[in-house]
Chains A and B, each alone.
Chain A
Amino acid sequence: HIAEDTSDLLQHVKFQSSNFENILTWDGRPESAPDAVYSVQYKTYGEGEWLEKEGCQRITRKSCNLTVETGNLTELYYARVTATDGTGRSATKTTDRFNSLQHTIIKPPDVTCIPKVRSIQMIVHPSYTPIRARNGHQLTLENIFQGLLYRLKLRINHTYQMDLEGKQREFEFVGLTPDTEFLGTIMICIPNLFKESAPYVCQVKTLPDRTWT
């Protein structure tokens, strides 16, 4: 009996996680199986039973939100997808072992840049995650990662740049020239886990100095 090759039905089954939103995604070749449907199961590593993900049974889209099911930061998880086409051919593929604390990508922070005459203030807003504490409160990235800090840069000109870094959420670049354009970038860094967000970028112009007019 020669096993039928069904690899075209299903590829790249993996978790894509950012700020602890954990989405299972996969690919399948539409031209070879236009009528394929997909069913998702998941399990905690170390347990025997695979559980069906409600809302992701016999679906046609190629993604499934498993944020709630994989939300325990200390657990490791697997998920698997079964693809079935119109002729009854099927294929099942499993993800790598997944832990959101290790795998999640950090999104850029949300920042308000406030220009003044000789300074620019930057206020970083908390990054909320879908993770909830026992008391139901939504956790921020700062709550989850003790070592989290913010790294700010202000480009003055082609050769000169100012840097600030810290755990607080309010920063101010001072000693700037009035009525001048500056480019600011702000990143979230978690040094002990080698995590760094893409930068939030803000382009601001200091206010004109009207003291002598």
Chain B
Amino acid sequence: QEFQFGPCRVEGVVLQKLWQAFWAVKDIVQAQDNITSVQLLRKEVLQNVPETESCHLIHALLRFYVNTVFKSYRDKAVEFGILKSFSILANNFFVIVSKLQASQEKMFSTRKTARRRFLLFHRAFKQLDREAAVTKAFGEMDILLSWMEKFYQL
């Protein structure tokens, strides 16, 4: 079981566990997001991503989730009583980011286009109120997991 994001390989993460953790909290989290007219991880960010760009993009997205979304959402996770699922997701994302760190540094050619996609996401995030943006990003993890699944080999 491993992820293969273009040239970047990540072993030791069980995708089903992430799905299980998210599904356990999905309705609670998404019910807090009342802005139904904005999708942060929209088509322009994740659709038709060439394999060569996938490593940069996933690294940028997951690093943002680890450093910003999870950091800011932890208190809410405690408040809603979903800390267990939250921790499973946060810890596994941290593992993936760490393992991606080494391999994606060697590649410079595809960074620009992957960066542009990430900035689309980041700009939409910045346009929202901070707390609303964090809640929305956490609630869109199923979109992220669905995209990651394409690079996952059982």
Q: Which residue numbers of A lie inside 8 Å of B, CB to CB?
A: 43, 45-48, 74, 76, 78, 94, 96-97, 99, 101-102, 147, 191-194
Contact = CB atoms under 8 A, between A and B. Distances in A.
A20 to B, nearest CB: 16
11 contacts: A43-B36, A46-B37, A46-B39, A74-B47, A74-B146, A96-B26, A97-B26, A102-B23, A147-B154, A193-B19, A194-B20
Interface residues of B, number: 23
B30 A48 contact: no
A84 B14 CA distance: 48
Contact of B36 (A78, A192, A193): A78
Given A76-B143, A192-B16, A194-B16, A46 B38 contact: yes
Given A76-B143, A96-B30, A193-B19, A48 B149 contact: no
A174 to B, nearest CB: 29
A206 B65 CA distance: 59
Nearest to B38: A46
B146 A48 contact: no
A103 B33 CA distance: 19
B142 A102 contact: yes
Contacts of B33: 97
Nearest to A74: B146
Contacts of A45: 36, 39
B71 interface: no
Interface in B12-29: 15-16, 19-20, 23, 26-27
Given A76-B142, A97-B139, A194-B23, 7 more contacts: A46-B39, A47-B37, A96-B27, A192-B16, A192-B149, A192-B152, A194-B16
A11 to B, nearest CB: 15
Main secondary structure, interface of B, reads: helix
A191 B16 CA distance: 9
Contacts of A94: 36
A35 B39 CA distance: 38
Interface of B: 15-16, 19-20, 23, 26-27, 30-31, 33, 36-39, 42, 47, 139, 142-143, 146, 149, 152, 154
B31 A96 contact: yes
B146 to A, nearest CB: 7
Given A194-B19, A194-B20, A99 B142 contact: yes
Contacts of B143: 76
A46 B42 contact: yes
Contacts of B146: 74, 101
Closest 7 CB pairs of A and B: A46-B39, A48-B37, A97-B30, A96-B27, A78-B36, A45-B39, A46-B42
B133 to A, nearest CB: 14
Nearest to A73: B146
A192 B154 contact: yes
A80 to B, nearest CB: 10
Contacts of B38: 46
- Counting chain B CB atoms within 10 Å of each CB, which of A46, A94, A194 scores highest? A46
A147 to B, nearest CB: 7
A68 B47 CA distance: 22
A206 to B, nearest CB: 36
Contact of A192 (B15, B37, B47): B15
Contacts of B23: 102, 194
